[in-house]
Amino acid sequence: MRSTGIVRKVDELGRIVLPIELRRVLNISYKDSLEIFTDNNMVILRKYEPCCIFCGSATNVVTYKGKNICPECISRMHDDIKIAQ
C-alpha cells in the first residue's frame, strides 16, 4: 500500500472529501459508486464495477433481472440449455 501524503478530517456527518487529484488518477467521477471494505483497522475504498455473478468478469456485463452476467456466461448458459433439450 502506498501513502499519498494527503490527510483529511471526517466531518460531523462522517464524510470525507477525496481530492480531485486522487479522483483523476483513479478515474472516479461525480456520482460513481465506491465499495467499502475493512481490513483490521483500515478502511479501503474501491471504485465499484459490476461483475458477473458466475465468473467474476467485469467486461461487458449486462444486468438481467437484477443479476450481472457477462456475454461469455450467457453463451455458456445458452449452450447448456440446448444440450439439456
CA–CA dist 85, 64 (Å, integer): 22
pLDDT (tens digit, 9 = 90+) per residue, 8-62?
999 999 999 999 999 999 999 999 999 999 999 999 998 888 899 999 998 899 9
Q: What is the pTM of this model?
A: 0.59
What was the pLDDT predicted at 4? 84
CB-based contact 34:46 (threshold 8 Å): yes
pLDDT at 84 exceeding the cut of 90: no
52: nearest Cα among 62, 40, 66: 62
CATH of 1-48, one of 3.40.50.2000, 3.40.50.10890, 3.30.565.10, 2.10.260.10: 2.10.260.10
pLDDT band at 85 (very low <50, low <70, confident <90, very high): confident
State the DSSP string of the chain. Answer: -----------TTS-----HHHHHHTT--TT--EEEEEETTEEEEEE-----TTT---SS-EEETTEEE-HHHHHHHHHHHHHH-
Query: What residues does each domain of the chain span?
Result: 1-48, 50-85
